[in-house]
Every structure is written in structure tokens, then in C-alpha cells.
Amino acid sequence: MYEELNTAQKSLELYDEALDLWKYEPNRAGKNMFGGFTADEIIAISDEELELIMKLCAAKGRIGNSSASLSKTHQLRFTRSWLDAIDIYEQYTKNKELLNRSIIFPIFSGLFVLVKFGKIEQDKERTFELQLITKFIREAKAFDDPVHYTRALAMECEYFCKVGKYKKALTSFDELAKQYVPEEHSDAIAQAYGNDRTSQAFAHRALCLMELGRESECIAACEHVINVLLPVLDHSNVLGISSLLFPVVRILKWRGEAKRMKILFQEHVLDNIEDGEKSPVHPLSKPMMFLLSSCGGTMSTKEKEEAVQWILQGDEVSDKNGKQKGPIVPDSIESLCTQLCWSVNSMLSELCLRLSMDVWNVDEKHTLIRRGLAYAAKADQKMKNEDGEVIYSIPYSVHEPVMGGLRKLAELHGLEYDDDISIGNSSGKSRYEAPIFGDVVLSSEHSGTENVSTQILKISDPNSEERSRRRYTTNSVHFSKNISDISLGSQDDYENDAEQARVKSRLRLSKSLPSSIFSERDKLSLSSINDGP
């Protein structure tokens, strides 16, 4: 009730009071603690009580995921709740045989979502995610229920897709597809995990096929999502439907179907959001719909003027009715969308690029170019690590040419720009460094684009030195007047599927670029981008 009234602090107090009912030891100083409990307190808990504690920890954690108004300290307390559940569960199962091990599955899933929202900071090798997925698959396979096992496989598929292991992702999907029947399993999965996260693996499959150059299979996979899955899934869960459709929009928009994608997203996502309802979809919906209008050739003069003014407002977050005005992307949403396939800041940078070539006012044109570069810089930061390595190849393949086009426009107009230019006021955030299930260290608080000074968890791995030497080629696709001038980067020494896919994408883009890309009004021909990666 209290979370519905947006009183997260009161909810936190109530959940803590409920959990304290099992804490009976008066003298706790100096004792080892497991999720806030002593070892003796955990041993005294029954199986039924453990299940209730898991549910309380998960419910407490979800408030932190959904409330944007919390202080940093409270956000961390909610995040800690998911990890507390793991600590309690593992300590319990060390000493007792648990019949229903499925009670931990929603915790695995919730932690995976936290990683996507950027709430848990990992080491370079993503050890936390790998351990999470490995544990989930092992436990779910032993439990032998397709509702949970397919969810675990969907996590594995998404992970491999995200890190560029596309063939491994398809192997995970094939195992999932043998068991998942949406009409039979979708509602049960949604009940257990908040939405049907298993169905989203079908969209990840399409992304993998795209990156592997299997074009006809990729398009068929997208059509399967649209024509087979969407009609049978529960549309009241807007976040679940948008997560399924988002990669399809990302793929087909760049293949000349922007107009169709706008209609689909409006019908299946936006039309199902109640008036006045706060939804995680809102921060990406306006940039996406403006961009799809522009790409699909349906943007009216009035809509174009609205889009330009919305971009130029910059620092404004909401109007008097609480509706979003200025395009400032919450960090958690940017993390989620980037890891999925497409950065919202990248959408905004492309929108700025397109609008800048369609306005006559010189000041507006220059501001749009600068803002586009600023959004591109923000997107770039999410796609690379501190060493400048590309870590998310799929979103980078569409971000890179747009950033190159904006830079070329800036040079054409004699504009100086700084890739680190800020837009609006970025709120500070704090995160957990990822533990090996239990040992959690808080990262330091920081604001804006300042570097995070943290003690990264060191994992002993004989292959870590070899992995750390891997690099992606990060040379931009330079927009030039002659196709022969385009730098494609090295095609040697591929490290994984992602490296090969990026070069293939850039080759396709180079072949489609026109011989002269600037016209009298600086209209960079973006039709080539629409047919690109």
C-alpha cells in the first residue's frame, strides 16, 4: 500500500520491522552476520519462514527499483535487500536440506535486473553475472519446471548476446525454445518474475542473428515476435512488452520500417499506459517516437517544431503537470536500454542530427549539433570501459556512425565541441560493487561524469590476463565525401563474434554511403543509415 502512495521510506521501515521478528539474539556484537541475521537465528528458521523472508527481501528490493525519489542511502538499503536474501539462503542451505529451492529464483532474476539498471558494479570479467546465471541454471534445472528453467536460460541468452557471444546465446535459446510454450507458461512466468522475461529471449535471438549476418533469419525472428508472441502476451505489463518489442524496433527501424515500428510501439506499449501513470517506459518513448517519425517520413511541421523546442529546452525536466519536457535520460534507464541493444542518448543524438539538417535558424542548428554531440558523448561513456574498449557492441554499431555524422557537421560549420559537454544536471548515484555472493563493498558517491574511485573486487582467474588484453576496434566510421576515405579499422585477429559482427556492419554501412553526403542545406543523407546495421 505505502509503495503505491510513493512513501518508500515508510515501506522500508515496515519491511525492516517484519524481518526483525526473526532476530531474537540480544547480544549481536562481534558475531558473523548473514543478511542481518546471526547463524543461530538462521538455523532456527523453518522452511516456510525462509520462504516468507525471501519474499519480504524481494518486495523490499523492488521498491528501490521502482522509486526514483529515494535518497542515495535508501537506494543502497533497498539494493542490499536482494543481496541479503542470497546470504540468508546460502547460510540456511549449508546446514539444512531445503525441499522447495525455487524460493530463491526470483532473487536471482531480481539481481540480474539490478545489474542491467546499473545498480551493481562488476569487475571487468563480469564475474558476478556469470556466477548468478550459473547458480540459477543449476538450481532451476534440478527443480525441473519449465517456468523457472526457461527464465534461467533467458538470462543466459541475454548475457551472451550482451557480451558478444552470439553463437552461445543461440545455443541457450535453442534449449529454451524446446520447453517454452507462451500460451502455457507466460502467465506463470509473469507471476513469478514480474513479467514474462522468458519471451524476451526471442528478441535477443533476433539481435544475435543480425550481428552474425543471418539477415533473413533475423527478419523472420522479428516477425515471429510481432505475429506470434505479441498477440498472446499480457499487455497490461507495459515494461515487459516494451522490453520484448524494443530490440525489434531497433532492428527494423534501420531496415526501412520506421513508420511501421512507430505504429507497433504506440499500439502495444504507449496505448496501454494509463493517463497519469508513471512508467519506466516514459524516458525512452518520446525520443523514440520523434525519431521514428523523422525516419519514417511522417513528421509534420508541427511535430518537427515541437521536437526542436523539446531538445532546446535542455535542462527542464518536467512541466507543471509533471510531464517530461527536457530530454534528460535517467541513468538507470540508459543502462538498461544500452545493455539491451540501443542507447536512449544515442536516439537523442540521432534525432538532433536529423533535426539540425532540417532547420534554417543558424543558432538552433548549431545548438542542435552541440546537443547531439553531448548526447553522443553520454552514450559513448556507457558503451565503453575506462580503457576505451567497446563493451556493448550491438548499441555501438548504430551509435558510431551517428556520432561521426555529428562531428562532420560540427567541422563543416566551424563549431568547436567537447565530447564531455554536459546536458542538464546529472544527479549523483551510488552503487554496489558486485560481490561473490555475500561480500559487498559500497562504491564511493559521485556526481555527473566524475570517475568512481572504488576498490574493485579482485577475482583469481588464470585467464584474466589474457582477457584483459582483448580490445575492440573503436575507430569511428568517418563520414567523408568519398567512400574510399572511410576508415573501417582492422579486420584481423577477431576475438569473438562481436568483433566480426562489428566489421561486417561497418562494411555494409560503407557500401551504402552515397558518394557525396552533404547537400546545400547540410542534409546528410541518412537513408544509408536506415539500411545499415
Q: What is the pLDDT of residues 2-54, one digit of tens each?
A: 444 456 677 778 888 899 999 988 888 888 999 999 999 999 999 999 999 99
Which pLDDT score, from 0 to 100, does residue 474 have? 28
Identify residue 74 by its one-letter amino acid code.
H
Q: How far apart are CA 197 and CA 200, in angstroms?
A: 5
Which pLDDT score, from 0 to 100, does residue 283 have? 87
Which pLDDT score, from 0 to 100, does residue 223 have? 98
Mean pLDDT of 154-183: 97
Q: How far apart are CA 218 and CA 105, in angstroms?
A: 31
Q: First CA to last CA across the chain, in angstroms?
A: 46
In this predicted structure, the answer to whether residue 203 has a pLDDT above a threshold of 60 is yes
Is the CATH code 1.10.8 the one for domain 100-446+478-530? Answer: no
Which pLDDT score, from 0 to 100, does residue 512 have? 36
In this predicted structure, the answer to whether residue 66 has a pLDDT above a threshold of 70 is no
Check if the beta carbon of residue 189 is closer than 8 Å to that of residue 196: yes
pLDDT category of residue 324 using cuts at 50, 70 and 90: very low
Residue in 239, 240, 358 with CA at minimum distance from that of residue 304: 358
In this predicted structure, the answer to whether residue 154 has a pLDDT above a threshold of 50 is yes
Sign of the Cα torsion 366, 372, 376, 377 reads: positive
Mean pLDDT of 198-224: 98
Least confident of 107-116, 277-286, 376-385, 489-498: 489-498
Which pLDDT score, from 0 to 100, does residue 78 have? 76
Which pLDDT score, from 0 to 100, does residue 274 have? 81
Which pLDDT score, from 0 to 100, does residue 366 have? 94
SS3 at position 81: helix
Which pLDDT score, from 0 to 100, does residue 25 have? 86
In this predicted structure, the answer to whether residue 229 has a pLDDT above a threshold of 50 is yes
Contacts of 85 (CB under 8 A, 6+ apart): 35, 53, 54, 57, 58, 61, 104, 107
- Cα angle 433-78-97, degrees, rounded to a multiple of 5: 85
Mean pLDDT of 126-137: 92
pLDDT higher at 202 or 8: 202
- The DSSP H or E segment spanning 441 is strand 441-442
Percentage above 70 pLDDT, the chain: 72
In this predicted structure, the answer to whether residue 187 has a pLDDT above a threshold of 90 is yes
In this predicted structure, the answer to whether residue 360 has a pLDDT above a threshold of 50 is yes
How many CB atoms lie under 10 A from the CB of residue 455?
Answer: 9
In this predicted structure, the answer to whether residue 473 has a pLDDT above a threshold of 90 is no
In this predicted structure, the answer to whether residue 377 has a pLDDT above a threshold of 60 is yes
Sign of the Cα torsion 237, 243, 246, 251 reads: negative
In this predicted structure, the answer to whether residue 74 has a pLDDT above a threshold of 90 is no
Which pLDDT score, from 0 to 100, does residue 500 have? 61
pLDDT higher at 154 or 332: 154
Q: How far apart are CA 147 and CA 125, in angstroms?
A: 29
In this predicted structure, the answer to whether residue 103 has a pLDDT above a threshold of 50 is yes
Sign of the Cα torsion 212, 218, 221, 225 reads: positive
In this predicted structure, the answer to whether residue 452 has a pLDDT above a threshold of 60 is no
Percentage above 90 pLDDT, the chain: 55
Q: What is the mean pLDDT of the chain?
A: 78
Q: How far apart are CA 107 and CA 290, in angstroms?
A: 37
Q: How far apart are CA 168 and CA 497, in angstroms?
A: 10
pLDDT category of residue 188 using cuts at 50, 70 and 90: very high
Q: How far apart are CA 230 and CA 228, in angstroms?
A: 6
Ramachandran sector of residue 366 (left: φ over 0; alpha: ψ -120 to 50; beta: rest): alpha
Which pLDDT score, from 0 to 100, does residue 259 have? 96
In this predicted structure, the answer to whether residue 522 has a pLDDT above a threshold of 70 is no
Q: Are strands 432-433 and 120-121 parallel, antiparallel or unpaired?
A: parallel
In this predicted structure, the answer to whether residue 498 has a pLDDT above a threshold of 80 is no
Q: What is the pLDDT of residues 236-288, one digit of tens each?
A: 889 899 999 999 999 999 999 999 999 999 999 999 988 767 788 888 999 99
pLDDT category of residue 502 using cuts at 50, 70 and 90: low
Mean pLDDT of 187-210: 95
